[in-house]
Amino acid sequence: MTEERHQALKNLGTALSHPFADLSLLDHALVHRSYVNENPACSFGDNERMEFLGDAVLELCITDLLMKTFPDYSEGQLSKLRASVVNEQPLADLARKLEIGRYLLLGKGEESSGGRSKTSILADTLEAVIAAVYLDGGFDRACEVVRGLFSLLIVEGSRNLTYRDYKTALQEYSQNRFKDIPSYALIGEYGPDHDKIFESRLSLSGILETTGRGKSKKEAEQNAAHAALDALMQNSDEQG
Indicate which residues carry an active-site annotation: 55, 127
Beta bridge partners of 202: 184, 210
SS (H, E, C) the chain: CCHHHHHHHHHHHHHCCCCCCCHHHHHHHCECHHHHHHCCCCCCCCCHHHHHHHHHHHHHHHHHHHHHHCCCCCHHHHHHHHHHHCCHHHHHHHHHHCCHHHHCECCHHHHHCCHHHCHHHHHHHHHHHHHHHHHHHCHHHHHHHHHHHHHHHHHHHHHHHHHHHHHHHHHHHHHHHHCCCCEEEEEEEECCHHHCEEEEEEEECCCEEEEEEECCHHHHHHHHHHHHHHHHHHHHHHHC
Please state whether beta strands 183-190 and 208-214 pair in parallel, antiparallel, or not at all (unpaired): unpaired
